[in-house]
């Protein structure tokens, strides 16, 4: 390298160093005012403490909510049938009165009438609570509703696959089968 080139290079390097120094910030990160650092640290500590407190309160509130809902669910399970059972008490009272009068009764027709009234009252109560009896005789066999316990030969072609006798009544609760009807089906 020639002497002139070397001088140009040194001059360029010096210009670069000067320009670089001008672009750099005057204060270095370690040279900040220590009082400012203390103030920032205090602010950050206060914010952290507030966030921790908020977090702990939210966690405690959530834990209380969870415990409360578990207790409410347990109470519902334990006492959920209270309304239904309370509604059955008048039917039980009627049955007790009927049993007391059966021994003293001289007219069999009045006893039958009393038992029929109690039975109808009980069916009415079940219907009010969403329980319905399945009508099965004469309907097409549906394995979702009925349980076939026997089959008999069909007397006509139209009777094939239909229910011809009901051995045990099936029931639904709000359109969900709670007991399948036991039926005889024609083949």
Q: Model confidence over 47-80: pLDDT tens digits? A: 999 999 999 999 999 999 999 999 999 988 888 8
Q: What is the pLDDT of residue 81?
A: 85
Sign of the dihedral defined by the CA atoms of residues 133, 139, 144, 147, in that order = positive
Q: Flag whether pLDDT at 6 surpasses 80.
A: no
Q: What is the pLDDT of residue 13?
A: 66
Q: Tell me the C-alpha distance between 153 and 87, whole Å.
A: 45
Q: What is the pLDDT of residue 1?
A: 62
Residues 163 and 138 sit within 8 Å (Cβ to Cβ): yes
CA distance to 138, 143, 160, per residue, from 155 (Å): 13, 22, 8
CA 140 to chain CA centroid, Å, is: 35
* Tens digit of each residue's pLDDT (9 = 90 or more) over 136-184: 999 999 999 999 999 999 888 888 999 999 999 999 999 999 999 999 9
Superfamily of the domain at 132-187? Head domain of nucleotide exchange factor GrpE (2.30.22.10)
Instruction: Name the band, by pLDDT with cuts 50, 70 and 90, for residue 5.
Output: confident
| Domain regions of the chain by residue span | 81-129, 132-187
**pTM (2 d.p.):** 0.57
The better pLDDT of the pair 186, 23 is held by: 186
* Tens digit of each residue's pLDDT (9 = 90 or more) over 108-136: 898 999 999 999 999 999 999 999 999 99
Q: Flag whether pLDDT at 27 surpasses 60.
A: no
């Amino acid at each position: 390298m020639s002497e002139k080139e070397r001088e140009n290079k040194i001059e360029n390097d010096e210009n670069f160093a000067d320009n670089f120094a001008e672009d750099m910030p005057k204060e270095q990160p370690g040279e900040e005012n220590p009082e400012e650092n203390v103030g920032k640290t205090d602010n950050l500590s206060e914010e952290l403490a507030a966030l921790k407190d908020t977090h702990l309160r939210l966690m405690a509130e959530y834990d209380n909510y969870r415990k409360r809902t578990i207790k409410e669910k347990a109470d519902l399970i334990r006492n959920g049938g209270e309304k239904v059972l309370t509604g059955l008490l008048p039917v039980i009272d009627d049955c007790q009165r009927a049993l007391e009068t059966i021994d003293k009764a001289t007219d069999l027709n009045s006893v039958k009438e009393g038992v029929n009234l109690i039975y109808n009252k009980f069916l009415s109560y079940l219907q009010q609570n969403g329980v319905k009896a399945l009508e099965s005789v004469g309907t097409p066999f549906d394995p979702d509703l009925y349980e076939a316990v026997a089959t008999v030969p069909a007397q006509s072609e139209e009777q094939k696959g239909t229910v011809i006798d009901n051995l045990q009544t099936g029931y639904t609760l709000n359109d969900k089968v709670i007991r399948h009807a036991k039926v005889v089906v024609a083949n």
